[in-house]
Structure 1
Amino acid sequence: MIRIVLVEDLDMIREGIKLLISQITDFLIVAEYKNGQEFVDNLDNLDCDIVITDIDMPVLNGIDATKIAIAKKPNLKIIALSLYNDSKYYYELITAGAKGFVLKQSSVEELEQAIREVNTGKSYFSEQLLYNVIVNMQNIEQTLVEEKKNLLQLTNKESELLTLICKGLTNKELADKLFLSTKTIESNKAKLMRKTGAKNNASLIIWAIKNKIVEI
């Protein structure tokens, strides 16, 4: 018997998934939750093989819930339910530790296949989703970069300064390029380091390139 936990905030979708799963004789839903917070709050008491979670939920979303759950139980097998426009979260969920990604539009046969493959230690990702990710790779990455910039509240001037720093310009060259004083450049660099957690020029450059905020 494959024991399944279902995390989904919409009653109609949750009931629909339960109905589909109930038709498979060796599948059993042992717990269900309406958001990620309920799920992680009960994690210590859960004995299950597979967790199926929605991504977009109130209180605590599926991405953050996955991160917390995997941190507590590294061997937990989590499958995310996704809409086409959730494909930008693919990278975040993989990094968080999800083992599968199934479109909500998928058939019961595909959901069953995903559960069985993930349960045996494999990964499963909807072919339609992978195609969508590949086709929109550049747009997805750009969206993630823009979201990261917004999260850090980088201004256009700070983004421009960061790009020039990554090109190896000295403070004097930065000042001449941006028509500012070297003192202002030093002050702006200090603000950037505080926002990004960088300790010096080198770590600031590494952070910017690693997070694809700038491309050299």
Structure 2
Amino acid sequence: MNYDIRLVVADDHEIFLDGLALMLSRQDHIVLAGQAADGRELIEIVEKENPDLVMTDIKMPRMDGISATRHIISRNPEARIIALSMFDEEDQIVEMLEAGAKGYLLKNADKQEILEAITSVYEDGTYYCRSTSAKLAAMIARSKFNPYKQKEQVTFTDREQEIIQLICQQLTAQQIGDRIFLSKRTVEGYRTRILEKMNVRNTAGVVMYALKNNLIREEDLIL
């Protein structure tokens, strides 16, 4: 990676914010452009620093992440924002995405996933936390959030569609291979091509794309 990503982070929990900021500042390709403790402070820093990407908590004092996101997007519709969430904030995650965020992470995400989300959203993709529940996937699918509607329609072969269905049922590559009489390695090759076609990073992304593009039905998911 031969570019720097200028990033602003916001969270009202000082220990979490400092820990996240420290980890990010140690990455060669990330420049920490500012830290905020609430939505209003976040807006001020974003307007001053014009960062490449924002990571913000949803629940904050004075102004929450949803209101701050709406304000930032109203000024710059191309702004790249990742929501930081707790386990029990599914409704708020949906609101954040509808407000303009392009991805979300649970606060217990590991370093690798945080960096993966940053890269994906910086490159104009979306990012859905690996531990996205089927319930949340269905809620997002029913929401106004749809990052795929302006993109060229992707086509999938019959075999790819079959594997997409099985991925969405949370089957492993080995389990899929056993069911449709392919080797694990062959299934992994199909999975890689499917992720590339969808421009997603993980199973949660496959589920979301498949729901939004009517490749699977909500009732096919294990809720």
Contact 1:84 1:132 in 2 (8 A): no
1:18 aligns with 2:21: yes
Q: Secondary structure at the match of 1:38?
A: helix
Residue aligning to 2:105: 102
Q: Secondary structure at the match of 1:133?
A: helix
Residue aligning to 1:92: 95
Which has more radius of gyration?
Answer: 1
Q: 1: distance between equivalents of 2:95 and 2:11? A: 19
Q: 1: distance between equivalents of 2:66 and 2:88? A: 15
1:132 to partner: Cα distance: 4.8
Q: 1: distance between equivalents of 2:105 and 2:10? A: 14
1:47 to partner: Cα distance: 2.3
Q: 2: distance between equivalents of 1:30 and 1:61? A: 20
**Structure 1 outlier segments of 4+, above 3 Å:** none
Q: 2: distance between equivalents of 1:40 and 1:22? A: 21
Residue aligning to 1:32: 35
What is the TM-score with the length of structure 1 in the denominator? 0.60
Q: 1: distance between equivalents of 2:7 and 2:45? A: 14
Letter in 1 for 2:51: C
1:130 to partner: Cα distance: 4.3
Q: 1: distance between equivalents of 2:137 and 2:50? A: 36
- Structure 1 unaligned runs (5+)? 142-216
Q: 1: distance between equivalents of 2:94 and 2:19? A: 27
Alignment of 1:45-64 (within 5 A): 45-64=48-67
Q: Secondary structure at the match of 1:85?
A: coil
Contact 2:85 2:93 in 1 (8 A): no
Residue aligning to 1:164: none
Q: Of the candidates 115, 134, 144, which is equivalent to residue 112 of structure 1?
A: 115
Q: 2: distance between equivalents of 1:4 and 1:43? A: 9
Contact 1:117 1:123 in 2 (8 A): yes
1:44 to partner: Cα distance: 2.4
Q: 2: distance between equivalents of 1:45 and 1:78? A: 16
1:91 to partner: Cα distance: 1.9
Residue aligning to 1:9: 12
Residue aligning to 2:132: 129
Contact 2:9 2:56 in 1 (8 A): yes
1:22 to partner: Cα distance: 2.2
Letter in 2 for 1:110: E
Q: Secondary structure at the match of 2:116?
A: helix
Q: 2: distance between equivalents of 1:74 and 1:88? A: 22
Q: Secondary structure at the match of 2:124?
A: coil
Q: Deviations over 1:42-85 (max 9, x none)?
A: 43222211100001100000001000110011111000001110
Q: 2: distance between equivalents of 1:133 and 1:70? A: 23
Q: Deviations over 1:141-189 (max 9, x none)?
A: 9xxxxxxxxxxxxxxxxxxxxxxxxxxxxxxxxxxxxxxxxxxxxxxxx
Q: Secondary structure at the match of 1:128?
A: coil
Contact 1:2 1:49 in 2 (8 A): yes
Paired residues, number: 139
Letter in 1 for 2:80: K
Contact 2:58 2:84 in 1 (8 A): yes
Alignment of 1:135-154 (within 5 A): 137=139
Query: How much is the aligned-residue C-alpha RMSD, in angstroms?
Result: 2.1
Contact 2:9 2:34 in 1 (8 A): yes
Q: 2: distance between equivalents of 1:116 and 1:130? A: 22
